[in-house]
Amino acid sequence: MKKRLVTTTLAITLGLGTFGAAPTAINPIKVSAATVNPQNNQLAVEAKADQLIQTGKSLIGKATYSTSEYKSTYPYKFSCATFIDYIFKQNGVDLATYNENYMVQQGTYVPRNQLQKGDLVFFKSKKTGTDPDHVGMYIGDNKVIHMADSKQNIVIADMNSKPYYTDAYFSARRVLPSLLPSNPATKGEKIVEQSFNLMKKVTMGSVNDEKAMKFTGTGFVNYVYKTNGVNLGTTNIKEQMKLGTTVSRANLKKGDLIFFNSTIGSSTPSTVAIYAGDHRIIIPNSNGILTRVLFVDYYDQHYITAKRVFTDSVAPKVTQPTASTLPADKVVDFASSLIGKAKFGYSYNENNLTFTGAGFTYYVYKNQGIDLKYKLASQQAQMGKAVQKANLQKGDLLFFSTDNSGSKITQTGIYIGGNQFITLHTSGSAVKESLDSVWAKNNYAGARRVL
């Protein structure tokens, strides 16, 4: 359920992300926040999922439902999403948020008939709004574990046992293995791992003292990178922003530096963060070392740039890519999740998912960190570079006329592979269609690659 948490046990910045929960005596598992994936395959994912399930089950009968207090030690108190955030964090996987509407944007979309242990499952029972209002975790055999409500607390339920689980079902996301590092770990993953490990071990303030482990935000960044063989050579944030090469938001990798301003539109940085993968960031500042997600409005609006200041000594294995690691697949996953939800209208409204055709493509790419700049099809057709129809790739922008001329661009689509695309038709909803359809053949007007 939606949360408005107030707690006396630790400070929380509402709407911005993580709790950084303290260790618990329940099923202690000695792992770091970036636990090494020993085999980098499905077996490792299943092992991690089993750990998550074990921790979740261990809290049955010991934790109670609360939307006004979060307590990570006995007597435990959780809402549905803080429960999920907690069991993941206890097993070394930091979702960096306790909000369902941010969790549902992580990982990759999973159809209900393809759920695996450890997948996040979302429900929406409220008639208002467009975001899910409940989350649980799939544990296999068509069952989900979740903090249900004040009467039931934590339960394990068959997803066909009550109308709620079918009628209110919203979506599912797979965050494993995308939140697990490769083996051997890359330099970026080691930087992220060390940053997480130091969260409770350093003191943040106005001075830098490595022996006493006291740092400013930029001093902490300089220290972590230096101990991983990357000499930034400065603790000045403006100088740090000049280092390395600029990286687009769509191509961020673990260990990249991200800079934010304090005044929207300003090019002067006030905060530096470490990218932790899958939209998560580690922010060292005077309040401590925090984890957040880039989806939060503040970080979206105050984002300046990102810099890559090193080359990974161990490259990710290209023979084992996952959908969630590829920008084009993320665009396709997100667009697919909007089928049956986005509606056509002569306006742009993210709250009720009402868009023109080009407003729809603008929204999809924006949610993956790609700014198409315009909400008109003819203007989007000037972005990126032209692509021949025979060379289309996933994530390419498609353009169409609507008068069977194939010349005047008035409609857009997103190529998803297999000669298919997703578009928001003027007929009313987002649909999947074939480029071999009569309408597509008559109206096709070109394609642009923006990824």
DSSP of 23-76, one letter per residue? Answer: P-SSS-----TB---SS-SHHHHHHHHHHHHHHHHHTTTTEEE-SS--BSSSSE
Q: Dihedral sign, CA of 320, 335, 123, 34?
A: positive
Predicted confidence (pLDDT) at residue 10 exceeds the cutoff of 60: no
Q: Is 246 helix (H, G, I), strand (E, B) or coil?
A: strand
Q: Are 72 and 158 members of one domain?
A: yes
Q: Is 157 left (phi over 0), alpha (psi -120 to 50) or beta?
A: beta
- How many residues belong to the chain? 451
Model pLDDT, residue 425: 82
**Pair of tokens at residue 381:** 């057709």
- Contact of 397 with 409, CB cutoff 8 Å: no
Q: Are 245 and 295 members of one domain?
A: yes
Q: Rounded to whole angstroms, what are the CA distances from 411 to 55, 247, 377, 432?
A: 49, 30, 6, 14
DSSP string, 67-106: SS--BSSSSEEE-HHHHHHHHHHHTTB------HHHHTTS
Distance CA 193, CA 208 (A): 21
Model pLDDT, residue 107: 86
pLDDT higher at 342 or 29: 342
Q: Residue range 291-310: average pLDDT?
A: 94
pLDDT higher at 123 or 383: 123
Q: Are 47 and 167 members of one domain?
A: yes
CA angle 119, 176, 258 (to 5 degrees): 120
Percent of the chain with pLDDT over 90: 59
Q: Is 42 helix (H, G, I), strand (E, B) or coil?
A: helix
Question: Omega into 184 within 30° of 0, i.e. cis?
Answer: yes
In this structure, what are the phi and psi dihedrals at residue 283, rounded to the nearest 5 degrees? -115, 110
Predicted confidence (pLDDT) at residue 28 exceeds the cutoff of 70: no
Please report which residue ranges of 249-407 form alpha helices under DSSP H: 297-302, 327-337, 357-366, 377-380
* Helix (H), strand (E) at residue 134: strand 134-140
Q: At what angle do helices 327-337 and 357-366 cross, to 10 degrees?
A: 130
Q: Is 343 helix (H, G, I), strand (E, B) or coil?
A: strand
Least confident of 41-50, 117-126, 157-166, 264-273: 41-50
pTM > 0.85: yes or no: no
Domain that holds residue 361: 326-449
Tokens 């293995």 label which residue?
A: 177
**Pair of tokens at residue 220:** 């902490």
Q: Does residue 284 lie within any of the structural domains?
A: yes
Q: Are 62 and 162 members of one domain?
A: yes
Q: At which of 174, 204, 238 does a domain end?
A: 174
Q: Which residues pair with 259 in a beta bridge?
A: 272, 305
Distance CA 231, CA 272 (A): 16
Distance CA 413, CA 398 (A): 5
Q: Does residue 80 lie within any of the structural domains?
A: yes
Q: Does residue 11 lie within any of the structural domains?
A: no
Q: Are 284 and 369 members of one domain?
A: no
Predicted confidence (pLDDT) at residue 139 exceeds the cutoff of 90: yes
Q: Does residue 31 lie within any of the structural domains?
A: no
Q: Are 169 and 197 members of one domain?
A: no
Residue 230 belongs to domain with CATH number: 3.90.1720.10
Predicted confidence (pLDDT) at residue 177 exceeds the cutoff of 50: yes
Overall number of domains in the chain: 3
Express each pLDDT in 395-440 by its tens digit.
999 999 988 888 889 999 999 988 899 999 877 788 888 998 898 9
Q: At which of 120, 149, 174 does a domain end?
A: 174
Q: Convert 403-438 to b/e letters by CB count within 10 Å (16 or more is b).
A: eeeeeebbbbbbbbeeebbbbbbeeeebeeeebeee
Q: Are 289 and 355 members of one domain?
A: no
Q: Dihedral sign, CA of 121, 336, 425, 436?
A: negative
Query: Cβ atoms within 10 A of the Cβ of 16, count?
Result: 20
Model pLDDT, residue 295: 86
Distance CA 394, CA 396 (A): 6
Question: Residues near 163 by Cβ (< 8 Å), separated by ≥ 6?
Answer: none
Closest by alpha carbon to 449, among 376, 379, 398?
398
Q: Does residue 141 lie within any of the structural domains?
A: yes
Q: At which of 144, 174, 204 does a domain end?
A: 174
Q: Does residue 313 lie within any of the structural domains?
A: no
Q: Does residue 5 lie within any of the structural domains?
A: no
Q: Are 374 and 337 members of one domain?
A: yes
In this structure, what are the phi and psi dihedrals at residue 377, rounded to the nearest 5 degrees? -60, -45
Q: Residue range 122-133: average pLDDT?
A: 90
Q: Are 147 and 63 members of one domain?
A: yes
Q: Are 193 and 70 members of one domain?
A: no
Model pLDDT, residue 133: 95
Task: Please classify residue 317 by burial: count the beta carbons closer than 10 Å to its beta carbon, then call 0-12 exposed, 13-18 middle and 19+ buried.
Answer: exposed
Q: Are 296 and 336 members of one domain?
A: no
Q: Does residue 29 lie within any of the structural domains?
A: no
CA angle 394, 397, 399 (to 5 degrees): 135
Q: Are 169 and 193 members of one domain?
A: no
